[in-house]
Amino acid sequence: MVLLFGIFIRYNEEADAHWVEHKQQHNLTDIDNDFYFRYPSFQDVHVMIFVGFGFLMTFLKRYSFGGVGFNFLIAAFGLQWALLMQGWFHSLDQDTGKIYIGIENLINADFCVAGCLIAYGALLGKVSPVQLMVVTLFGITLYAVEEYIILNLLHCRDAGGSMVIHCFGGYYGLAISWVLYRPNLHQSKHNEGSVYHSDVFAMIGTLFLWMFWPSFNSAITNHGDGQHRAVINTYIALAASVVTAVAISSMFHSKGKLDMVHIQNATLAGGVAMGTSAEFMISPYGALIVGFFMGIISTFGYVIVTPFLAKSLKLQDTCGVHNLHAVPGMLGGFIAAIVAAFASDSVYSHQGLINTFDLTGEYASRTMSTQGGYQAAGTCVAMAFGLIGGAIVGLILKLPIWGDPADDNCFDDEAYWEVRSSLSFYLNEMCFVV
């Protein structure tokens, strides 16, 4: 890694000390550095990756260390690999053969890692840390390729990554999990599920994801109105998801009680589905409608679809990635295709339309219905990369060399962590008191 960084990676113009002179030549002010347009969102995205995903995965009663700890490990490892991989596809300077990085590359590396962390959600508790490193290594490579195809070759827009992050990451994890099916997983049944405090820990993850999702969807959109609009749309869609997720959760319970699993997950589905169209002129009520239905679909998925998949499709999906990422991501891709197809000069203004969809150069003549078609095609590419790539990586992970946990040892931190048991602590104390 050090070698590759040494050969390829350099600061970009705005992060280099030469910028002082560049600034004077081009009559720029300090604040014109792209850094200031992106840094607040970057930090929010960073929080989502490490605290959001990390704590969301602490919900299991005996796997909180693995949830937050392995998330930390693979995210930090993945970032480095992502800087290289995405750099080769997106930022490689043809003349110098170097990758010039700046704040946008850091955000994109976080995005890239997000795809792998979503996949981890489907595998949580059933794989070894070494297997996770393999998932990350291949996941990031696949991500860089599919993203290049979708964004550069098909020239799709996907600011918040409904397609390239959520749809790809979700199906990637599901395909791996499907290949790694464990018929005797019921032997770890006593470790599945949450306890009271672990559910409260998971709410930390949920809330930081929920709150900062507007930053996620706006982090790399256009300066000015693009970022502004992406924030508004995402904020509204998320608010709507919460209300319908709660309503459906209560409706499916015999006594009208709420289930923490739905509150922790389905409340976020609006943000996933708004990923691609956040920067479009979907209008505030459009965002509200998307959020409204995603809360319903996602909660329904947790109640009905996940148990069905486990039973009939032999698909073990620990965190319900199918309901939170795969399906809402895919739907988000198709919704954006429709919104794009109906975009017009009157709604966006002529220059606004060109800016929003970057219809310059060779794409200047692309009509909006064509753009819609490409957006839909992009969604299919993401799904295909996830499913096929995941199946192949799953097969690699079946090799008996990776130290995966035994069937009766899943969802248990004891396998990979030095655990100072809270139980023995309470028992000791008790003996002392009694």
Residues 122-161 within binding reach of a copy of itself (CB under 8 A): 129
Q: Dihedrals φ, ψ of 101, to 5°?
A: -105, 150
Choose among 277, 276, 272: nearest CA to 301.
272
The residue within the footprint of a copy of itself, chosen from 153, 258, 304, 401 (CB under 8 A), is 258
Q: Are 377 and 155 contacting, i.e. CB atoms less than 8 angstroms apart?
A: no
Q: Is 267 in the site for a copy of itself (CB under 8 A)?
A: yes
Closer to a copy of itself by Cβ: residue 183 or 196 = 196
Neighbour tally for 140: CB within 10 Å: 26
Q: Is 311 in the site for a copy of itself (CB under 8 A)?
A: no
Strand partners, 100: 10
**Nearest-approach distance from CB 340 to a copy of itself, in angstroms:** 13
**Nearest-approach distance from CB 391 to a copy of itself, in angstroms:** 28
Distance CA 295, CA 298 (A): 5
Q: Which segment (28-36, 142-150, 156-164, 394-402) binds a copy of itself by CB under 8 A?
A: 28-36
Q: Are 177 and 317 contacting, i.e. CB atoms less than 8 angstroms apart?
A: yes
**Nearest-approach distance from CB 393 to a copy of itself, in angstroms:** 20
* Residues of this chain, 189-228, that bind a copy of itself according to CB under 8 A: 190, 193-197, 199-201, 203-204, 207-208, 210-212, 214-215, 223-225, 227-228
Tokens, residue 250:
């209560």
Distance CA 157, CA 389 (A): 23
Q: Is 229 in the site for a copy of itself (CB under 8 A)?
A: yes
| Residue-by-residue DSSP string for 103-119 | HHHHHHHHHHHHHHHHH
Taking each helix axis from N to C terminus, what angle separates 103-123 and 34-47, rounded to the nearest 10 degrees?
20
The residue within the footprint of a copy of itself, chosen from 88, 181, 402, 417 (CB under 8 A), is 417
| Residue-by-residue DSSP string for 354-406 | HHHHT--GGGTT--HHHHHHHHHHHHHHHHHHHHHHHHHHHHHHHSTTS-PPP
* Residues of this chain, 37-56, that bind a copy of itself according to CB under 8 A: 37, 39-41, 43-44, 46-47, 50-51, 54-55
**Nearest-approach distance from CB 380 to a copy of itself, in angstroms:** 27
Q: Is 307 in the site for a copy of itself (CB under 8 A)?
A: no
Q: Is 400 in the site for a copy of itself (CB under 8 A)?
A: no
Q: Is 21 in the site for a copy of itself (CB under 8 A)?
A: yes
* Residues of this chain, 94-113, that bind a copy of itself according to CB under 8 A: 101-103, 106
Q: Is 236 in the site for a copy of itself (CB under 8 A)?
A: yes
Burial classification of residue 423, based on how many CB atoms lie within 10 Å of its CB (0-12 exposed, 13-18 middle, 19 or more buried):
exposed
**Nearest-approach distance from CB 249 to a copy of itself, in angstroms:** 9
**Nearest-approach distance from CB 264 to a copy of itself, in angstroms:** 9
